[in-house]
Amino acid sequence: MGFFSAVKKFFTGGSSAEEKKQEHLEEVKAEAADSADEPAEAEEAPEEAADEPESASAQPEALAEAPAEVEAEPAAPAQPALSATAVPVEKPTAAPAPAADPEEEALALALRQAEPKLSAWLSVVLKDVEEADDLLWKRLGFLLRALETPEAEARSFIDDFRGWLERMEYRWLNDFRSELQYRLAIALDMEDEEDERDRLFSKLQAGLARTTERFGQGLKALFSGHTELTPAFWDEMEELFIMADMGAEPTFALVKKLKERASAAGVTTPDGLMPILEEEVEAIFKTPRRIAAVNAPEVVLMVGVNGVGKTTTIAKLAYRARMQGKKVLIAAADTFRAAAVEQLEVWAQRIGADFHSKGMNADPAAVAFEAMDKALKGGYDIIFIDTAGRLHTKSNLMDELHKIRMVVERKHAGAPHRTILVIDATTGQNALQQTKMFKDTSGVNEIILTKLDGTAKGGVALAVASQFELPITFIGLGEKMEDLRPFDPHDFARALLGKGKE
Ligand SMILES: Nc1nc2c(ncn2[C@@H]2O[C@H](COP(=O)(O)OP(=O)(O)O)[C@@H](O)[C@H]2O)c(=O)[nH]1
Ligand SMILES: [Mg+2]
């Protein structure tokens, strides 16, 4: 949707003139609040609304036009009242139009006064909203109208979100506010906006707080405790990285590199070293991009030991794919426990993906075979295959995964396109053994690191990234759908080192 930039221009266009009206806005707001208590007054709307907003008194010409239009067409008063506030803007186009409702007029004014950021706009329209009720839908409709969203798209956004809330059984705003912002950002093409990136960074920081506490604070103490890059400094640094679960060899390699770079650059103090450290940590997380040429349906095979978060992560990835308008199939090839099949089915229903299973104890390769058939015939864009992670015998599990791979490949050349290993950050060094095992035996080409929230062992990301040449593509920062986030080496390095946002 390209209307965001237009929207931004629209909202920022009249800002300086509007600043002067800040006080006035407060009055209008107060009045709106008052009249909300007195519905009788509010109902007398048309004429009252037309000459009531003193805001318009700043622009008598605009006001003068209003009453005539009121008679002719009840929806019209909106235009003059709003154009009065958007002083130098070329044309307020189909701007927020509802001046007949004093509350909405106050909201429109507040939106124009707000910072041109989705989070700020949401704060304005969600004022006094506490739960998913009519007020929420009204306000959301208003916001989308204000953002010039085509009516059909706005309606389908609201219907979708409403359906999702019901399926998820969310009621209170606090439980879904962040999700709402996330959806709006994606729908309005604003995921790359600074606002959304800030939010992501804050989330990353919060998620990594315990890791940072241990690692970042130690680093701070190390850097402030030395004035020169002495052997003691380097020893302490090694210890710090090893304690953060980075593993001995990668730590030695990193410190060696840092020493070399420091000496080449003539850096002799910890302060001078810091930017180099940041770069090197970021470099550890950077792996060359693979060519992502995919012949649809894209086949994603999810592997990893029990309990790491495979099934939930499939749900989260499938959800992202759904939000991008893809047709999604999920196959339940973890047939070991009935609960696993049911859990996946519930997720599929919630996110609007199709689901294929043969129940508990079915042959996982047979499930994959049938699901591939369905995906190919049904014109799916992407299929996720959930697998079991039990390790009663390792070779047993690996054989099973191998069989699934063979079936999938035979059905669809080039598949599986992605074999994602899910590892649980809280398991620290175990995560490394798992990575080695799955990489050696099941063609893993991507890693998702889950449960980074609330663990002090987030440093394991460094170990995984430096010991295996596998990209970390997403990280799990919590249990909600939106808590799976694309992995950003730069931001992650900064958060890990306890740095703030740039
Ligand atoms: N805190 C947190 N919990 C997670 C995350 N990812 C998954 N979980 C939880 O981990 C548990 C096991 O997840 P599940 O998907 O069933 O693991 P599986 O056995 O690998 O399929 C569930 O309770 C999930 O909600 C995450 O990123 N953060
Ligand atoms: Mg599972």
Q: What pLDDT, on a 0 to 100 scale, did the predictor assign at position 392? A: 59
Q: How confident is the model at residue 264 (pLDDT cuts 50, 70, 90)?
A: very high
Q: How confident is the model at residue 147 (pLDDT cuts 50, 70, 90)?
A: confident
Buried b (16+ CB within 10 A) or exposed e, 419-435: bbbbbbbbbbeebbebb
Please check whether residue 55 is in contact with residue 109, taking contact to mean a CB–CB distance below 8 angstroms: yes
State mean pLDDT over 265-276: 95
DSSP-H helix ranges across 73-150? 78-85, 102-113, 118-125, 134-146
Q: What pLDDT, on a 0 to 100 scale, did the predictor assign at position 261? A: 97
Pick the ligand that lies closest to the CA of residue 340: 2
DSSP classification of residue 483? G
Site residues for ligand 1, CB cut-off 6 Å:
304, 306-312, 389, 450-451, 453, 476-479, 483
Ligand 1 centroid–CA 108 distance in Å is 42
Pick the ligand that lies closest to the CA of residue 474: 1
CA–CA separation, 143 and 96 (whole Å) = 8
Residue 422 CA, closest ligand 1 atom number: 20
Q: What pLDDT, on a 0 to 100 scale, did the predictor assign at position 100? A: 67
pTM, rounded to two decimals: 0.70
Ligand 2 centroid–CA 340 distance in Å is 5
CA–CA separation, 470 and 434 (whole Å) = 13
% pLDDT > 70, the chain: 77
184 vs 259, residue with greater confidence: 259
Q: What pLDDT, on a 0 to 100 scale, did the predictor assign at position 488? A: 87
Residue 315 CA, closest ligand 1 atom number: 15
Count of Cβ atoms closer than 10 Å to residue 498 Cβ: 19
Q: What pLDDT, on a 0 to 100 scale, did the predictor assign at position 447? A: 96
CA atoms within 13 A on the CB side of 277: 24
- List beta partners, residue 350: none
Ligand 2 centroid–CA 161 distance in Å is 26
Cα three-residue angle 337-410-437, rounded to 5 degrees: 55
Q: Report the topology of domain 209-285.
A: Four Helix Bundle (Hemerythrin (Met), subunit A) (1.20.120)
Q: Residue 222 above 80 pLDDT?
A: yes
Q: Residue 93 above 50 pLDDT?
A: no
Q: Report the topology of domain 298-496.
A: Rossmann fold (3.40.50)
pLDDT digits (tens, 9 = 90+) for 15-52: 333 333 344 444 444 444 444 444 444 334 344 433 43
Ligand 2 centroid–CA 310 distance in Å is 5
Ligand 2 centroid–CA 314 distance in Å is 9
474 vs 30, residue with greater confidence: 474
Please state, rounded to an integer, the average pLDDT across all residues of the chain: 80
Q: What pLDDT, on a 0 to 100 scale, did the predictor assign at position 324? A: 77
State mean pLDDT over 225-247: 91
Ligand 2 centroid–CA 239 distance in Å is 36
Q: Residue 65 above 80 pLDDT?
A: no
Pick the ligand that lies closest to the CA of residue 336: 2
State mean pLDDT over 157-169: 87
Residue 334 CA, closest ligand 1 atom number: 21
Query: Of 479, 480, 481, which is best to mutate to test ligand 1, by the most ligand atoms within 8 angstroms of its C-beta?
Result: 479
CA–CA separation, 297 and 410 (whole Å) = 14
Least confident of 162-176, 268-282, 310-324: 162-176
Residue 306 CA, closest ligand 1 atom number: 19
Per residue, the 3-state secondary structure of 161-188, as one string, reads HHHHHHHHCCCEHHHHHHHHHHHHHHHC
Q: Residue 279 above 90 pLDDT?
A: yes
Q: Residue 206 above 90 pLDDT?
A: no
State mean pLDDT over 246-270: 93
DSSP-H helix ranges across 386-445? 394-411, 430-442
Q: What pLDDT, on a 0 to 100 scale, did the predictor assign at position 136? A: 96
Provide the 3-class DSSP secondary structure of residue 130.
coil
Least confident of 25-29, 166-170, 418-422: 25-29
Structure tokens at 21: 């009206």
